[in-house]
Amino acid sequence: MLTYLKLLATMAFWGGTFVAGRLLAGVVPPFHAAFLRFFIAVILLLLILRCIEGRFPSLEPKQLGAVILLGLTGVLGYNVAFFTGLQTVSAGRAGLIIALNPVGIALLSALFGGEPLRRASLLGILISVAGAMLVISNGDLSLLTRGAGLGELTLLGCVLCWALYSVIGRRAMRGLSPLVAVTYSALAGALLLAPVALAQGVLTRIPGYGLGAWGSIVFLAVFGTVLAFIWYYQAIKEIGAVRSGVFINFVPLFAMFFGFLLLGEPVTFTLLQGAVLVITGAWITNHGGL
């Protein structure tokens, strides 16, 4: 039961990250936001790791390669796409697009993780994709033939990155604790982000960021990264990548709620229709036939 409660809290934190990302849009560039988020998170994670483990565990060559891949996908790729997409896409809509994560996890788990894809899952994938297309096109499906917006397409990159992160993470944790895997992957991601952020002048821009921007960055680092990543990885290790991924269905609901409550974003009928399709399809994808 505790695992499921932690997963639900994790989804609330991640739903809040969409609001934090929107608040940073136009104020903090994507690479800067991603780097600062993980710079703070890595410091906290290293302190926690040192206190709990009493040392910094060494990695075998295969584990080091897996950790680098985790940093490349779940930190660098996901966060650059995340902050870039939120420059133009509302928190609620972005949350619904990224609600395709369980679909991506199921597909990659079937291809590379040895978890078979059932016929019910294929039906769920089609329903989820239909809902996502409704959200992306804002109810006018003819827009898809002329190309979706860059922000929406960028957020689809988050889906691919997170699916890779989840599937790779399950393999990486066969010899690593969740805390070690999260800490080292966050460190790898921060190191990968650093060159671009520094080249873009992140150090000279920091003094200009106001209290609101720093509040969003700290929320992203502490709640959206440290607590959420540890709890999510603990769940993957205990109940598997697919069942943990099902809880991501709650993220768009939290994102829509927080977006409405804190940003005044409208909850349109089209958005609600898309939410029903995306979440229903994602649930069928992971529970159909179980």
pLDDT the model gives residue 242: 65
Spatial CA neighbour of 166 closest among 253, 251, 105: 105
Show the tokens assigned to 236. 């993957």
Q: What percent of the chain has pLDDT over 70?
A: 90
**What pLDDT digit, counting tens, does each position of 105-161 carry?**
778 877 776 666 677 777 777 787 777 777 766 666 555 545 557 888 899 899 899
Predicted confidence (pLDDT) at residue 178 exceeds the cutoff of 50 = yes
Predicted confidence (pLDDT) at residue 277 exceeds the cutoff of 90 = no
Predicted confidence (pLDDT) at residue 79 exceeds the cutoff of 80 = yes
Predicted confidence (pLDDT) at residue 219 exceeds the cutoff of 80 = yes
Higher pLDDT: 266 or 38? It is: 38
Question: Which residue reads 């099902």 in tokens?
Answer: 246
pLDDT the model gives residue 104: 81
* Range with lowest mean pLDDT among 176-180, 185-189, 213-217: 176-180
pLDDT the model gives residue 212: 92
* 3-state helix/strand/coil string of 159-219: HHHHHHHHHHHHHHCCCCCHHHHHHHHHHHHHHHHHHHHHHCCHHHHHHHCCHHHHHHHHH
**What pLDDT digit, counting tens, does each position of 241-272 carry?**
667 766 777 788 888 888 888 888 887 777 78
Cβ-defined contacts of 57-64 (< 8 Å, 24+): 57/176, 57/180, 59/176, 59/184, 60/175, 63/172, 63/175, 63/176
- The contacts of residue 142 (CB under 8 Å, 6+ apart) are none
pLDDT the model gives residue 196: 94
Predicted confidence (pLDDT) at residue 65 exceeds the cutoff of 60 = yes
The whole-chain average pLDDT of the chain stands at 83
Distance of CA 288 to the CA centre of its chain: 24
Mean pLDDT of the region 37-51: 95
Higher pLDDT: 290 or 28? It is: 28
- What does the alpha-carbon distance between residue 225 and residue 160 come to, in Å, rounded to a whole number? 19
Measuring CA to CA, how many Å separate 236 from each of 4, 164, 221? 11, 13, 21
pLDDT the model gives residue 173: 64
Prediction pTM value: 0.82
Spatial CA neighbour of 234 closest among 287, 290, 181, 162: 181
Domain ranges of the chain: 2-287
pLDDT the model gives residue 201: 93
pLDDT the model gives residue 290: 47
- What does the alpha-carbon distance between residue 151 and residue 136 come to, in Å, rounded to a whole number? 10
Predicted confidence (pLDDT) at residue 192 exceeds the cutoff of 90 = yes
